[in-house]
Amino acid sequence: MTTTATLRLRVRHGRITTRVFWPGATRGAQRILVALLDPSAARLLCQRAQRVVLALPPTATGNDALDVARWAGAHATELGATEGAVTLIDGADVTRLIFNRTHQGDPS
């Protein structure tokens, strides 16, 4: 089971709504994934990869993603994750990450 929260974060050109997903049993010492994904895919990624996932809406720009990644790195401890350990991913990366975590162990 995952835990979720909705955040409104300041980015270069306004604010963006971001969904945060935490894996159920594991807290702390985790990496953060900032992903351009819909919430259902982000929840699945969180569960399978056992990472904190910040999901950006499909309308997010590259600059939005970078701003959210920087914010997440600066607030990692508050998010229950490893300080500064942030990875920005897209849909193709998600498929690879889930496969690696499921079949070959942690790729990081």
Measure CA of the first residue to CA of the last residue in the chain; give whole Å.
23
Question: What pLDDT is attached to residue 97?
Answer: 58
The answer to whether residue 93 scores a pLDDT higher than 50 is yes
- Mean pLDDT score of the chain, rounded to an integer? 81
Q: What is the CATH number of domain 3-103?
A: 3.40.50.1820
Q: Which pTM was predicted?
A: 0.80
**CA separation for the pair 78, 53 (Å, rounded):** 14
Q: In the structure, what pLDDT confidence band is assigned to residue 1 with cuts at 50, 70 and 90?
A: confident
Q: In the structure, what pLDDT confidence band is assigned to residue 14 with cuts at 50, 70 and 90?
A: very high
Q: How many residues appear in the chain?
A: 108
Instruction: With H, G, I as helix, E, B as strand and everything else as coil, classify residue 98.
Output: helix
Q: In the structure, what pLDDT confidence band is assigned to residue 99 with cuts at 50, 70 and 90?
A: low
Question: What pLDDT is attached to residue 28?
Answer: 55
Q: Two tokens at 105?
A: 């162990």
Instruction: With H, G, I as helix, E, B as strand and everything else as coil, classify residue 103.
Output: helix
